[in-house]
Amino acid sequence: MAAIFVSYKTEDRPRVAHLVAALRAAGLDIWWDQDIPPGGGWRETIAAQLDAAALCVVAWSDQSAGPGGRFVCEEAERAARRGAYLGVLIDPVEPPFGFAEWQSVDLAQWNGKAGDPLLDHFVAQVRARLESRPIEASPAAVRRRRLPARTLALGLGLLLLAAAAFLVYRLMPGQSAPPPPPSPTAFVNAKLGGTACSWLQISSVAPAPGGERIALSGVAIAPRAVQAGLMRAALEAGVPIAEIAVDDVATGPGETCAQLELLRQYRWAGRPRLTVIPQRGPLVHTEDGWRGRLEFEIDYRDMPRHAALLGLDSDGLHALSGDLEAYRRDQVRLRTNGTVAAYESFFFDENRNARNVGLILMTSSAPIDLALVSQIGRSGDRASLTRLTRAAAAQSWQFELGLVRCGFESGQGRRC
């Protein structure tokens, strides 16, 4: 196994190839996916190399830091959990949410040539990480040409004038103080709305030394990265948050990112109508694959006429019941309490190593086209996305996620 694993987006391969060549020229032991032998198991080989590497160098670009970079994010999160992550910016981008608190090597201004000081700096910093030495500041912040002294003097003068004007403004009577930071819950809710590849919500808030303890629930591709990113943002904004708890957040597989990105745009924000009860008993292995048992409750009060139950896993969305009213009529209930009915169900991986991460209650103002809904996360072409977007807007689609905190990982049952 190699000492360094290189993670990148396929579209960036030509540029990353130069980085790999520079590291190898410096005598460093490198592995990237171009080293997979013909016929080799792609996923198995990548996972084994990533977990064995002493360092994972992640190339962040416009491609890998965007919604399409979910596999890169997953590899970065996997490496970060054991302290083996090092980011490198090959475009002027911010790393995805959760990785901004990690120091990255800045190659965004690299001229693409082997003799550029930025490339030499990158190689030196990779070696420093392998040897557990501190990473030095990147020379990217230093201008490639000096500004004339006259220009510098003019800039300094303008800066001093601006500082003096601001000081006079602050000393004038009647000026209001800067607004206080937002409340912890408002701050976290605002951040969660822009967190990629996740469907998260606040499940509880409790006082704690230094602020509040906010617990999250839902599904995220990289829960620990979300946790670290929220805490870093709270510290910078002066928001009194003592802890962000993600114990009740399911780690969804990278393949789930596309589904989550579309579904959460139409998430139901009202009174909860779907509640999933934690798994009952251990997973059981049968000839048809792993099987788990769960219970869930549905509150039928004010339920729209058109509603369906869907399952969310790494293979996409699956229709469990296209007609919720028929499901209510035909299914055996465990118990009822007013308008709330509880049911028992099972989930399977069917020997496909699928990861079951949630139940979804979908409502619509028109009959639900399950064939169209099943395209979410599976079809990324323009025509499919256009049809989905138009239907969601015209039929007032709404989705409510009920978390199933169990799944299957490489044939092994993961307990709740």
3-state helix, strand, coil in the chain (%, to 5): 35, 30, 35
pLDDT in tens, 5-60: 999 998 888 888 888 888 888 888 898 888 877 655 677 788 888 888 888 999 99
pLDDT in tens, 293-333: 788 999 999 899 999 999 887 777 888 888 999 998 899 89
Task: Name the β-bridge partners of 267.
Answer: 399
Cα–Cα distance, 21 to 30 (Å, whole number): 9
218 alpha carbon, distance to own chain's centre: 12
pLDDT in tens, 266-281: 888 788 899 887 666 6
pTM value surpassing 0.75? no
**Of 282, 252, 223, 258, whose CA–CA distance to 358 is shortest?**
252
Q: What is the overall mean pLDDT for the chain?
A: 79
Q: Sign of dihedral through CA atoms 226, 229, 233, 239?
A: positive
Band (pLDDT 50/70/90 cuts) for residue 410 is very low
- One-letter amino acid of 393: A
Higher pLDDT, 285 or 95: 95
| Lowest mean pLDDT across 47-61, 150-164, 399-413 | 150-164
pLDDT exceeds 60 at position 409:
no
What is the DSSP code (8-state) at residue 267? B
Q: Sign of dihedral through CA atoms 91, 93, 96, 98?
A: positive
Task: Name the β-bridge partners of 57.
Answer: 6, 86
Cα–Cα distance, 391 to 399 (Å, whole number): 14
Higher pLDDT, 150 or 145: 150
pLDDT exceeds 90 at position 380:
no
How many CA within 13 A on the CB side of residue 344?
A: 8
**Of 278, 313, 283, 250, whose CA–CA distance to 411 is shortest?**
283
What does the radius of gyration of the chain's CA atoms come to, in whole angstroms? Answer: 25
**Of 256, 255, 4, whose CA–CA distance to 130 is shortest?**
4
